[in-house]
Structure formats: structure tokens, C-alpha cells
Structure 1
Amino acid sequence: MRVTQAEFIISAVGPDQYPADGLPEIALAGRSNVGKSSLINKMIQRKNLARTSSQPGKTQTLNYYRINGELYFVDLPGYGYAKVSKSQREQWGKFIESYLLKRELLRALLLLIDIRHPPTRDDVAMYDWLSHYGIPVCIVATKADKVPRGKWQKHVKVIRETLFVRGGDPIVVFSSETGQGKDELWSLILERAGKSALAGEAAPEAASEAD
């Protein structure tokens, strides 16, 4: 998809702050430092719209980004950061759970996994929870540029088997450095958002190097 407009809208801490314009929402979840902000920036071909934090686990809000006036990316707080207190983790968990279960405009969740490492217990727990509640999931294996191309499928197999991927949930190999997987991911996002007619407008893979 050719992104002509992307803007940060709000850091929401509750339903009363969620946008009320009725656009479909695609959420992003994953461990701290898995590359959610970098993925957003690459997908919209902007360098710093989604800002990475120098302190993992610091983000405590749902960050809304409106794309082309057509849909939202919703960046959820990262999980699994050891220095976050147990009480704070529980608070975030309830906050995220409420959004995922009650937000009618949520169309799918992108679960980001670092391709270099097997999914953690937190990753497995998140995927199991999403599957239990029937929330559509697309698994994104990030940081593919850190692994030789010839070993991608080996690492994807580890992710698939560790998560016990079911229901045909797709796994997209992605790199925010090279743009690998960008067009494939856009096609999946637009399909889940009910905007599959726009999928054919995705720019060629090479265009992802433009930024």
C-alpha cells in the first residue's frame, strides 16, 4: 500500500480516549525491544513517527497511529521486561486484556517475535491467550536482516513449533532495515481490515528502501 498520510493520534490509557471515528484497528504486541516501533516506521515509510524508547518497558499506553485516514496501528505496551514490577505487569495485563477483548474495531493482532531466538514463555502465553479467545493473529518474525536468508525457514520452524501455531495463522519474515516482508504484511493487514481492494496498491518491495 502506498502510504500518503501517517500521523500519531493519541497515547490512550482507557476506552474514553480511544478514537471514535470507527476506523478498523490493527494492534501490535511483543516483548520489549522486539522492534514494534521500527516495524511501524518501516511500514509507513517514516523514520521517527513511532519513537523507540531508550528504557524498555517504559511505554504504558496504547499508542494510536492513523494511516491514510483508513485504519489505525495500535502499539501495545511491550511485555517481558524484567525490571517492571509484578504489580505493574498485572496492571498492564488487565489494561491490554480489556482492550483486546472489548474493542469491537480490533481486526487483528500482529504478534512480533525476534527471529533470532525461540519464543519465550511470555510469547507462548500471549499466543495461547489470543488463540483461546479467537483473536485473529499474524506472527511477524522481526530482525530478519540479522539472520542469513538461508536460515530463515529453520528459525521460522522453531517459532511455529514453539508457539504450536494453529488455525493457519500466517508467519511473515520481516526486516525494518531492508523492508523484507513489508508488502506481504501490508496485504495481510488490508485483508484483515476489510480493505483488501487496496492491497494491489502495495509498492514494489524495492520501494521500501526509499526512506
Structure 2
Amino acid sequence: MNRTIELIKTIYEIKQLEDFEEPQIALAGRSNVGKSSLINCLAGRKGLAKISSKPGKTRSLNYYRVEPDGFFLVDLPGYGYAKCSKAERAKWAKLIEAYIQGNTQLKAVAVLLDSRLTPQKLDLELTSYLKSLGIPVIPVLTKSDKPKQRDRAKIQNQWKDILQQDKAPLCFSSKTGMGEAKLWDILAAHAAL
């Protein structure tokens, strides 16, 4: 299927939040985990989502419409970024919480996890929080072209056990396209629920 992704709306403050009728899949992850690269890879073009060598570039909720499926990918600000004020981090946290809670169109959250790192405290907190709200978690191991297959499998199994899911997290690489077709299938299936 030929899909297109287009940036429709950018939200910086809670008062800007609006209800969309279309299903939504949120993208969450630590700063510098590769959310923007993943969006650009799925879109098949560079520059749709801004990429920076400095973590914490995404400071807003970015709504990307996926056609012809008719759902939104919603890019959330990265977490764990230390080079901004506590006040700004608190503002992002409130915005994300306001977006997630009570959002009937939010079908799942794709949590992007760095395949080179053992499970991190902030990732564990996020996945636990989402599960407590009954929101399905789609674990995606980014930068999966970097570690050796053995090391990648170890991280996959750790996350599979932590999340108590039947399937191991999807391995994805925006550099090589690893897992791209499978990720589309997973996102579209959740959006259709």
C-alpha cells in the first residue's frame, strides 16, 4: 500500500488540544531515540520531522495524518532530556498527560526504545503508566542495525518479559529500513481497533 504522511497540526499548550475523530497512535520515547528519523523513514522522505544532533528537538505534539488509512501518528516530546529547565519539562509532562488521559481516539502508544541500551528507568515508568491506564503499548527497538544480533535478542527478551507480551518488541532501523513494513502493519492494525 502506498501511504503518505502529512503534518497537520502542532500543539504547544494544553488549551490548543482539540478532539479529532480519527484514530491516533502516539509515538513516545526518550530524547534522541530516533522518533523523527522513524517518522521520516515511514514517510519515505527526509525533512518531514526535524532531526537534530541535539536531543530534545521535539517540544510539541505533532499530528501527522496517515493516508489512505485515515489515522494520526502523534509525535510526543522526548523525555529524559536534561538541557532544558525543570519548568519546561513539567510543562511537557502536563501537555502529554492532558493528551493521553481521556483521549478516546488514542488506540495505542508506540514506545521507542534504544536497542543499544538495557531497559532504562524512564522507559519503565512510561510503559508502566500506560499499562495502568489500559493503553496498549507497541514496543519498538530503534537503531537495531547497530547492536549484534545476539545483543539485540537479549534486549528484545528483556522487554518481552517486562511488558508481559506474547511477542518480542519489533526491531527497527530508519537507516536500513529494517522492520518498516512490519511496523506499518502493526500501526494500521491498532488504528483499526
**Same fold by TM-score greater than 0.5:** yes
- Structure 2 gaps of 5+ residues are none
* Equivalent residue runs for 1:70-109 within 5 Å: 70-109=70-109
Residue equivalent to 1:116? 116
Identity, % of aligned positions: 42
Give 1:170 deviation, angstroms. 5.3
- CA–CA separation in structure 2 for the residues paired with 1:167 and 1:156: 11
Task: Return closer, same or farther for 1:167/1:160 CA change in 2, 3 Å cut-off.
Answer: closer
Shift of 1:71: 1.1
CA drift of 1:15 comes to 5.6
Which residue identity does 2:84 align to in structure 1? V
Question: What amino acid is aligned across from residue 57 of structure 1 in structure 2?
Answer: G
TM-score for both structures, normalised by structure 2: 0.90
Q: What RMSD over aligned residues (CA atoms) do the two structures have, in Å? A: 2.0
Q: TM-score, normalised by structure 1?
A: 0.83
Return the alpha-carbon distance in structure 1 between the equivalents of residues 168 and 8 of structure 2: 29
CA distance in 2, matches of 1:134, 1:38: 28
* Structure 2 contact 112–141 (Cα < 8 Å) conserved: yes
1:174–1:181 contact (8 Å) kept in structure 2:
yes
Which residue of the partner structure matches residue 125 of structure 1?
125
Corresponding position: 1:165 with 2:163: yes
Question: Superposed, which structure 2 residues align to 1:15-94 within 5 Å?
Answer: 17-18=16-17, 21-68=20-67, 70-94=70-94
> Is the contact made by 2:116 and 2:152 (CA closer than 8 Å) also made in structure 1?
no
Please report how far the alpha carbon of residue 168 of structure 1 lies from its aligned counterpart in structure 2 after TM superposition: 4.0
Structure 1 distance, partners of 2:16, 2:63, is 10
Q: CA deviation at 1:111?
A: 0.2
Cα separation, partners in 2 of 1:16 and 1:168, compared to 1, 3 Å: farther
Alpha-carbon shift at residue 148 of structure 1 (Å): 2.4
8 Å CA contact 2:27, 2:112 repeated in 1:
yes
| Matched ranges for 1:137-148 at <5 A | 137-148=137-148
- Summarize the alignment of residues 172-211 of structure 1 with structure 2, pairs less than 5 Å apart: 172-194=170-192
Aligned-pair CA distance for 1:62: 0.2
- More displaced 10-residue stretch of structure 1: 147-156 or 95-104: 147-156
Q: CA deviation at 1:84?
A: 2.4
Which is richer in helix? 1
Q: Single out whichever of 180-189 and 26-35 deviates more from structure 2.
A: 180-189
Specify the SS of the correspondent of 1:49.
Answer: coil
Deviates more, 1:164-173 or 1:122-131: 164-173
Query: In structure 2, do the counterparts of structure 1 residues 31 and 149 end up closer, same or farther at CA, with 3 Å as the change threshold?
Result: same
Q: How many residues get paired?
A: 192
Structure-1 separation of matches of 2:54 and 2:143:
19
Alpha carbons 1:118, 1:159 under 8 Å: kept:
no
Q: How far is 1:132 from its partner?
A: 0.7
Partner residue, 1:205: none
**Per-residue deviation at 1:160?**
3.3
Residue 163 of structure 2 aligns to which amino acid in structure 1?
V
